[in-house]
Amino acid sequence: MNKQGKFRDVLAFLLIIVVFAMLLIQYSPWKKEIISQQRLGGIQRYVSVDPSELAREYQNFDIPLPQHQNTQETSSSSIVVLNYHGTLAGDTNESYKISYTQFKEHMFALKKAGYQTVTIEQLYSFLRGEQSLPPKSFVITFDDGIKDSYYNTDPILKTLNYTAVMFVITGQSLDKESKYYLNKEELHKMAASGRWDLQSHSYQGHGRIQTGLDSAPGPYLTNKLWISVQQRLETNDEYFNRINSDLQTSKNQLDREFNQSTIGFALPFGEFGQRYTNYPGSDTLLLDAASKAYNMVFYQFKPAINKDFRANFNTENKDFYLVMRISADSIGSASTLLNTVEAAQSLSLPYVETFENSQRWIPVWGKIKVNNDKATITTTSDGSGAMVYLDGSYLWTDYQYFMHLEQNNASRILLTGRFQDSQNYVGCKYVGGFVSVVSVRDKQRTDFDGVRIPIDDFNNSHVGIAIKGNNVGCYWNNAVVVWSEVSNAPPHGGIGLRVEDPTVDANSVVFDSVQAQAI
């Protein structure tokens, strides 16, 4: 055999070895589940994951667990939904993305604390009151259908036996091939795993459109389109037809491609026109179109303005729900996330505030700081005061609660009860030696007759409120001083404190010793 023939034989042998090695890697049980060190746009996006090492990491993971007050619950009375967008290999400055390590620690912490995921179908059945779910049930969601949201998280979900929902922009994933968005083949692989629900994030609605001749572009679904050739905005009918077509197209694509009935839609940019729109009626029309196509529409806790509690409750049996989500990718540490999720869980009565969980009291406006067994409310600089409420108290009905005001530099405070949101609650108003009952319903405020009290200084004083049916009573230093009937009081709701008209040179209220019980 000549040298040329020997060279060909050696080359062929090496080729066989290479092919065999590639097959071995492809089908080996030790194959890593994530493509390794891939970069896109100059950023390292994917990590290399060894499943056995991931399992060892979870076993060795340790985190202080918050004390949940409802340890006797046999079924969940509220469901928290978490929202993520993307997970990158290393630290990131990209908006709405966290690192792989942060997401891993988020999931490890939740699993260690006893939280278990449920599917989107189970969530819907829970909201309708048709299915009971175990305590500490929650849902994980991802928006946009980005590749790194799948490749960097799926091994973690598999290790922890967790499921998740991917909201897909179908125009990007089903109609195109992209280095950034998941493609049809990848989505089928996700669905086949049993770990992923594929739901809608619009067809091409996750973009921005021209909203006026000289206006900045605005979100596709919450603005009327500026038609340049005719120098006008869309009509109401044109707007509705455009968004309705987008929502229906996305649903039809997912139903047909994955042989399913798509029930969930995540609003692009997490809103339905609360922040900015050139068409004030867009919120009504968008939700109307969404409710015709889907059973649930998902949006974020902030900038929501019509719902303040972070969890979702099954207080109404209906066909369509707005589902609140916590923007988990804006929460850095696993401890903070765990405290946030724990704070959102339904609280039972009696309740005694320990101030151990700094996430439990939420500001509607103004600021609150919790430490040293007390909370300090700081009012806004524009003089509008501050308002806070206790997360988890949403389902309370007939109860009384008391609060000690250690320091109060505000001229007027409002102790709130049956608080559902900042537009619906009852309260006791304390101002200038005067106490009265207040009702706020659909933003309309009614002040009832009150009584004088002999002390104008609120420092080191005890205030309280009692609610029984439609009757509201106000306490001052442990004695009831006024009762009023409020015919349109909300049927249930939580507790809180509103600070109004702060003085010029002082703008804080310190409270402690919060106790509530059923009556």
Residue 458 has pLDDT above 70, yes or no: yes
| Average per-residue pLDDT for the chain | 89
> 119-159 pLDDT, tens per residue?
999 999 999 999 999 999 999 999 999 999 999 999 999 99
The boundaries of every CATH 3.20.20.370 domain in the chain are 39-344
Q: Report residue 72 CA to chain centroid gap.
A: 25
Least confident of 57-61, 95-99, 260-264: 95-99
- What SS3 class is residue 169? coil
pLDDT classification of 377: cutoffs 50, 70, 90: very high
Residue 308 has pLDDT above 50, yes or no: yes
Residue 32 has pLDDT above 50, yes or no: no
Average pLDDT estimate for 103-124? 98
CA separation for the pair 446, 437 (Å, rounded): 9
% pLDDT > 90, the chain: 73
Nearest to 458 by CA among 491, 488, 428, 424: 428
Nearest to 113 by CA among 345, 325, 330, 300: 345
Average pLDDT estimate for 35-63? 80
> 290-307 pLDDT, tens per residue?
999 999 999 987 645 556
Residue 487 C-beta-side C-alpha neighbours within 13 Å = 1
- What SS3 class is residue 107? helix
Residue 39 has pLDDT above 60, yes or no: no
Yes or no: domain 39-344 corresponds to CATH 3.20.20.370? yes
pLDDT of 213: 92
Nearest to 82 by CA among 191, 157, 190, 183: 157
pLDDT classification of 27: cutoffs 50, 70, 90: very low
Residue 41 has pLDDT above 60, yes or no: no
pLDDT classification of 16: cutoffs 50, 70, 90: low
Burial of 505 (0-12, 13-18, 19+ CB in 10 A): exposed
pLDDT of 44: 72
Residue 42 has pLDDT above 60, yes or no: no
The boundaries of every CATH 2.60.120.560 domain in the chain are 351-518
Residue 335 has pLDDT above 70, yes or no: yes
Which architecture, in CATH terms, is 351-518? Answer: Sandwich (2.60)
